[in-house]
Amino acid sequence: MILQLAWMEWRRLMRTPLAWVVLAVALCLLSWQFLGTLEAFVGMPTETRTLGLSHHLGLQLFGLAAVLLLIITPILTMRSFSDLFRSGAYSLYSSAPVSLSALLLGKFLGLLLYLLLFVALPGGLSLLLLAGSPIDLGLIAAASLGLLLLAVLFLAIGLYTSVLSENPGVAAAGAYGLLLLVSLLDQHTENTSFLHWLAWPSHYLNLQIGLVQTNDLAYFLILAGLFLGLALYRLDRRRSG
Amino acid sequence: MSTLLNAVQLQRSFHGRQVVKPFDLQLKAGDILGLLGPNGAGKSTIMRMLCGDLAPGGGAVEICGEDLLRSPIQAKGHLGFLPEHPPLLRDQTVDEYLSDCARLRGLARRQRPQALQRTKQLCALDAVGPRLIRKLSKGFQQRVGLAQAIIHEPEVVILDEPTDGLDPAQIRQVRELILSLAEQRGVILSSHILSEIQATCNRVAILREGRIVYQGDLAPSGEISYRVGLEQNPEPAEIVALAPVAEVERLHTDYFRVALHADARVSELSHLIQERGWGLIELTPEQVSLEQRYLEATTGGEA
């Protein structure tokens, strides 16, 4: 049933103009960044190049992709539950023979399926260079993995705020607030502190430069699992009133 | 007939206030049970509890032998629910939406096209299949809501105010649809409109401030009384002395409401009146109307 729900969510999303506009705008912005990075790298004197082109792409192209993801995700997730609560369409799911966890995971996977298209964009643009120049495929794969994990985390946070409110606008505002909080927790905190560990930029940075570490993978999965768990708890509480 | 739905001591509180007092409810195949009560009496809360949308504060619900609280997925498989506001995904077409509903209700892929076709035909939605739901009239949207509740042919169908906002022609269509549904299954529907319940249901549960104050057949045959008009105006004591008469109430000078013993026959009464020479002007059976019962139940007998 989870896959059925994921398919329904994905198909529903793909039939909205929003999904295509978001992808088109993201492609334009990422292409602009890609060309800019390329131009800057080519114009750089060879002796001043301390990092390869793949590193530049990992930092700049995938850096912009992370920012775009932060902007896009709450727009996608705000309707997932809030809108259903507000319109009353949630009872379609709550009276169906579907468990709450299957419903939540189905919606999560459906949105992730859509975000996979977005996640593939910077990697796809980078692969275009294969035609004329060698690039570090491992680094691009690691950065793409990082972007995918970031999508998993952001979606979990967005879905959590979506189950908290019947107002999609409030759900989106809540998601932006939480996402910015986990983005900025590493500011003004000790490198070794727990709060610093809770912020995603340093974990993502490692993957951007091709460093795949269990600590970083665990960070994304644990935090995403935590927010999905909280969302499930809220859905159950909602049923109890 | 088998019991399709059995609710025992179901109750619900919100913020410490008991909005639905403990009640028992049974639904058998072929039943159309009407939940009747003024707005705010707790009809929607009861319906949401019966379909698992809202957890009860106490009690149990069994649907086709499956406990709704212990085995919600199995129990909900036997259930179709139309809430007060149809649960529509307005950006989808009718066909897409109903296909998704069939998928959600667990119909196998090969069963879906047939179920979609049958349900659209039943709800007169054939012509609007490719249209976006948000562009449909309220009547059509209501029918789409009804279609999602029955696409998987559930044994128990729960409909919250199914004719709300429809025009008279649409109301008639929906009533006919509900009557045809109940041929094979049990239906619970709520309304605050008496005529709605009278036109559709064979059983009624009347609610007042979260309490079911009356539950039973819509027109119980045992409670028929007669309006009797007599030229000679005898005393009520004289009438009650007649063998078949159980109770007498004077309505006007010459008119009485007469209740007979359960085994008595009305022909006996007319014969005795003729014998006494009281001059029978009128002898009309008078059932306790739903309106009378509703007013008695919802105003505590003040009406």
Q: Over the stretch B127-153, which tens digit does the pLDDT of each residue have?
A: 998 999 999 988 889 889 999 999 999
pLDDT mean across residues, chain B: 85
- What does the pLDDT average to over B185-204? 85
Question: Which residue, B194, B186, B199, is CA-closest to B7?
Answer: B186
- pLDDT band at B303, cuts 50/70/90? very low
Cα gap B225→B137, rounded to integer Å: 46
Q: Compare CB distances from B100 to A8, A87, A239 and report the shortest one's residue.
A: A8
The region, left, alpha or beta by phi > 0 then psi within -120 to 50, assigned to residue A152 is: alpha
Place B300 in a pLDDT band, splitting at 50, 70 and 90: low
pTM here is 0.82
- Residues in chain A closer than 8 A to B105 (CB atoms): 96-97
For residue B82, the cross-strand partners are B159
Q: Which residues contact A4 (CB under 8 A, 6 or more apart)?
A: A106, B103, B104
What gap in Å lies between CA B140 and CA B145, rounded to an integer? 9
Is A91 touching B (CB cutoff 8 A)? yes
Residues of chain B contacting A, Cβ within 8 Å: 12, 14, 48, 51-55, 72-74, 76-77, 79, 81, 83-92, 96, 100-101, 103-106, 148
Bigger pLDDT: A82 vs B297 = A82
Candidates A4, A90, A92, A236: best to mutate against B (most CBs of B within 10 A) is A92
Stretch A205-229: mean pLDDT: 94
Listing from the earlier edge strand, what are the strands of the sheet with B3-14? B17-28, B3-14, B58-63, B66-67
**Distance in angstroms (rounded) separating the CA atoms of residues A142 and B91:** 37
Q: Which pLDDT belongs to residue B301?
A: 47
Q: pLDDT at residue B289 above 80?
A: no
Q: What is the pLDDT of residues A1-53, one digit of tens each?
A: 899 899 999 988 998 899 999 999 999 999 999 999 988 888 877 777 777 88
**pLDDT of A173 over the 80 cut:** yes
Among all residues of chain B, which has the CA nearest to that of A83?
A: B89
Contacts of B22 (CB under 8 A, 6+ apart): B9, B10, B11, B58, B59
Task: Tell me if B34 sits within 8 A of B204, measured CB to CB.
Answer: yes
Q: Residue B31 in contact with residue B203, Cβ under 8 Å?
A: yes
Interface test with A, best of B45, B100, B111, B133 (most A CBs within 10 A): B100
A234: nearest Cα among A173, A179, A159, A170? A159
| pLDDT at A64 exceeding the cut of 90 | yes
In percent, how much of chain A has pLDDT > 70?
100
Q: Report which listed range, B71-85, B194-208, B244-258, B273-287, is most confident.
A: B71-85
Locate the chain A residue with the closest alpha carbon to B72: A97
For the stretch A105-143, pLDDT in tens is 999 999 999 999 999 999 999 888 888 878 889 999 999
Read off the DSSP letter of residue A80. T
pLDDT one-digit tens code per residue, B28-72: 888 899 988 888 888 888 998 998 888 888 889 999 989 988 889
Residues from chain B that touch A1, judged by Cβ atoms under 8 A, are: 106
Q: Are A149 and A220 in contact (CB under 8 A)?
A: yes
pLDDT band at residue A227 using 50, 70 and 90 as cut-offs: very high
Contact between B255 and B282 under an 8 Å Cβ cutoff? The reply is: yes
Share of chain B above pLDDT 70, in %: 93
d(CA A167, CA B127): 34
Specify the pLDDT at position B299: 67
Q: Name the DSSP class of A3.
A: H
Longest CA–CA span in chain A (Å) reads 67
Task: Establish if A214 touches chain B: CB-CB under 8 angstroms.
Answer: no
Residues across chain A: 241
Banded model confidence at residue A71, pLDDT cuts 50, 70, 90: very high
Residue B220's pLDDT band, with cuts at 50, 70 and 90, is: low
Percentage of residues in chain A with pLDDT exceeding 90?
A: 68
Of A54-68, A185-199, B62-76, where does mean pLDDT reach its minimum?
A: A185-199
Check if A3 contacts B (Cβ < 8 Å). no
Question: Torsion-angle region of residue B300: left (phi > 0), alpha (psi -120 to 50) or beta?
Answer: left
Which amino acid would we find at residue B262?
Answer: A
A239, B53 Cβ separation under 8 angstroms: yes
> Does the structure show a pLDDT above 70 at A88?
yes
Full 3-state SS string of chain B: CCEEEEEEEEEEEECCEEEEEEEEEEEECCCEEEEECCCCCCHHHHHHHHCCCCCCCEEEEEECCEECCCCHHHHHCCEEEECCCCCCCCCCEHHHHHHHHHHHCCCCHHHHHHHHHHHHHHCCCHHHCCCEHHHCCHHHHHHHHHHHHHCCCCCEEEEECCCCCCCHHHHHHHHHHHHHHCCCCEEEEEECCHHHHHHHCCEEEEEECCEEEEEEECCCHHHCEEEEEECCCCCHHHHHCCCCEEEEEECCCCEEEEEECCCCCHHHHHHHHHHHCCCEEEEEEECCCHHHHHHHHHCCCCC
Average pLDDT, integer, range A196-212: 91
**Cβ count near B152 (within 10 Å):** 22
Q: How far off is chain A from B119, nearest CA to CA, in Å?
A: 17
